[in-house]
Amino acid sequence: MEEGPWLEVWFSENQTDHMRISLRVREILHHEKSQYQEILVVDTYELGRTLILDDILQTSEFEEFTYHEMMAHVPMFAHPDPKRVLIVGGGDGGVLREVVRHPTVAEAHLVEIDERVLAATRKYLPSISSAFDHPKARVIVTDGIKHVADNPDSYDIIIVDSTDPMKHALGLFGEDFHRSAFRALREGGIYIQQSESPFYTPHLVRQIQVSLHKLFPKAGLYLGTVPLYPGGLWAYSYGAKGAFDTVVPEERVVERGFAQFGTRYYTPAVHAAAFALPPFVAALQRPEE
Catalytic residue IDs:
161
Strands (E), 162-217: 185-194
Pick the closest to residue 226 from 15, 25, 37 (CA basis).
15
- Rounded Cα distance between 232 and 72, Å, is 18
Give dist(CA 112, CA 89) in Å, integer: 5
CA distance 173 to 194: 10
Beta-sheet strand order (sheet of 38-44): 9-16, 19-33, 38-44, 48-53, 56-60
Residue 182, C-beta contacts closer than 8 angstroms, at least 6 positions apart: 191, 215, 216, 239, 241
